[in-house]
């Protein structure tokens, strides 16, 4: 049997082994030596086929995208594979890259052939066993193997960028191999300085910095950690919730067979902040081989981010609200002046400009003066609250959606904001959070102010109810080192 790789061929299957396709007439013996047997799959950039080269089974990849970027990635994959040497990485021959022109086509197909690694990928392996979690012993052995493969890749200044269960093969001898180098990237100085890099993403496995087009060595460790969450739990990473404070995966309760030590290693690899992950593959291997770790490794999830970022918010808030107060002086004055001009009641005592005094008119006038100052008091409150809400919301929204992702106070105490998946906040997200924050703390201070100024009636009871609501919400959320407006806006404050 022979298979035609012409994309336009209506009947690519050929029952015999002719030299030319019986349907379209295209060559079936590619590059004079490869006979295609069957199509194995279709990826984002290329199709994969099984071929035979003089009786030896191999894998053929054929680029089906026309974009220059796709061709660049395709050629890079071949170049990287030709430079890497490890039993867990597919081998390619130096002359295994070629182009093919189908019959009647004006478009050249770019192709290369690599070693066929026999076995089953870990996604299918887990499916075959009913997604039953693997043991700790097996997991540690597998983790060590893949990290050793990554060590070879990283030492050649490459990043894999697409580690996931379907790209790891379990060979018949029990060893693992890493495949699909289509997303690989060289760690050149130019690459590390670029802000616009093609983002390669696999849902549930790709770290936040890579989603934003800035993959680093630690990005591969993050994806590998997520892969072992799948292997240790039998569930996709996307099935688990994210901690609203840190965006880290809450998966540990579904891996009862795994020790705290190993859970700590996986959590360390998946730390939200790349700098808190292992820096090198050798660091991960050292953690795996260290027998003296008897308790869970402290990660940003358990200590650094959880406590320090929370308590740093208070002195940061003092600075920010001092800045808001200064910025609000002029808006407050303008708003109050506008409102004062529409006050219809007189502010001066009766008879101030006249010697004649009419008792009845004096009484009516003084009542109007009282109304003036009552209304003036209301206008002051309206001006103060409006300035607090508007200036405060705009201040926080602009600073926290900036490239620094932090207000001046937060920058001073080295904390910043992220959304629920760890990405930067856009302006609208930051504005929504800022409005909720301003309202939250306004409700908190209403009652103390009302009590201090002897306000009674419905406003007093409203302020008391608002105060109790805020206090109760604080008691509920503070143990998670969070505020209600953080949860409502799905944001978190982290240490830089």
Q: How far apart are CA 196 and CA 191, in angstroms?
A: 9
For residue 80, the tally of other CB atoms under 10 A from its CB is 20
Q: How far apart are CA 343 and CA 372, in angstroms?
A: 7
162 belongs to the catalytic site: yes
Nearest to 203 by CA among 175, 238, 178: 238
β-strand pairing of 109-115 with 56-63: antiparallel
Give 338's contacts (C-beta < 8 A, 6+ positions apart): none
Q: How far apart are CA 449 and CA 475, in angstroms?
A: 22
Tokens (6 digits) for 106: 């004006």
CB-count exposure of residue 301 (10 Å: 0-12, 13-18, 19+): buried
Do residues 250 and 243 make contact, with C-beta atoms less than 8 angstroms apart? Answer: yes
Tell me which of 31, 47, 121, 162 is the catalytic residue.
162
| Residues designated catalytic | 162
């Amino acid at each position: 049997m022979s298979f035609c790789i012409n994309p336009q061929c209506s009947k690519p299957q050929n029952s015999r082994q002719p030299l030319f396709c019986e349907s379209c007439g295209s060559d079936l013996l590619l590059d004079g030596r490869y006979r295609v047997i069957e199509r194995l799959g279709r990826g984002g950039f290329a199709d994969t086929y099984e071929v035979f080269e003089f009786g030896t089974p191999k894998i053929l990849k054929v680029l089906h995208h026309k974009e220059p970027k796709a061709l660049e990635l395709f050629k890079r994959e071949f170049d990287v594979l030709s430079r890497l040497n490890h039993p867990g990485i597919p081998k390619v021959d130096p002359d295994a890259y070629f182009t093919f022109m189908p019959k009647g086509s004006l478009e050249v197909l770019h192709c290369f052939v690599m070693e066929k690694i026999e076995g089953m990928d870990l996604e299918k392996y887990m499916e075959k066993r009913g997604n039953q979690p693997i043991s700790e012993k097996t997991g540690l052995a597998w983790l060590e193997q893949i990290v050793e493969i990554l060590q070879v890749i990283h030492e050649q200044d490459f990043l894999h960028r697409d580690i996931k269960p379907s790209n790891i093969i379990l060979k018949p001898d029990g060893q693992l191999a890493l495949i699909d180098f289509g997303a690989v990237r060289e760690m050149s100085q130019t690459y590390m300085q670029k802000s616009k890099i093609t983002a390669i993403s696999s849902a549930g496995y790709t770290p936040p910095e890579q989603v934003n087009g800035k993959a680093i060595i630690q990005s591969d460790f993050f994806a590998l950690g997520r892969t072992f969450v799948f292997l240790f739990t039998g569930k996709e990473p996307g099935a688990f919730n994210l901690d609203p404070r840190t965006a880290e995966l809450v998966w540990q309760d579904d891996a009862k067979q795994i020790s705290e030590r190993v859970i700590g290693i996986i959590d360390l690899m998946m730390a939200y902040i790349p700098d808190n992950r292992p820096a090198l593959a050798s660091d991960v291997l050292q953690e795996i081989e260290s027998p003296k770790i008897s308790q869970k490794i402290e990660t940003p999830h358990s200590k650094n981010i959880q406590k320090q970022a929370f308590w740093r918010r208070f002195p940061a808030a003092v600075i920010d609200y001092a800045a808001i107060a200064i910025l609000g002086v002029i808006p407050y004055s303008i708003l109050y002046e506008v409102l004062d001009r529409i006050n219809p009641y007189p502010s001066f005592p009766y008879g101030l400009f006249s010697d004649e005094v009419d008792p009845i008119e004096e009484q009516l006038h003084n009542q109007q003066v009282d109304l003036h100052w009552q209304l003036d008091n209301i206008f002051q409150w309206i001006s103060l609250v409006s300035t607090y809400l508007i200036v405060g919301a705009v201040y926080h929204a602009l600073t926290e959606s900036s490239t620094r992702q932090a207000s001046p106070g937060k920058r001073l105490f080295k904390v910043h904001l992220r959304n629920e998946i760890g990405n930067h906040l856009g302006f609208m997200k930051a504005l929504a959070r800022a409005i909720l924050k301003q309202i939250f703390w306004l409700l908190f201070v209403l009652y103390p102010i009302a009590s201090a100024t002897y306000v009674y009636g419905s406003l007093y009871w409203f302020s008391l109810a608002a105060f109790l609501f805020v206090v109760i919400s604080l008691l509920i959320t503070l143990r998670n080192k969070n505020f209600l407006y953080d949860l409502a806006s799905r944001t978190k404050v982290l240490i830089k």
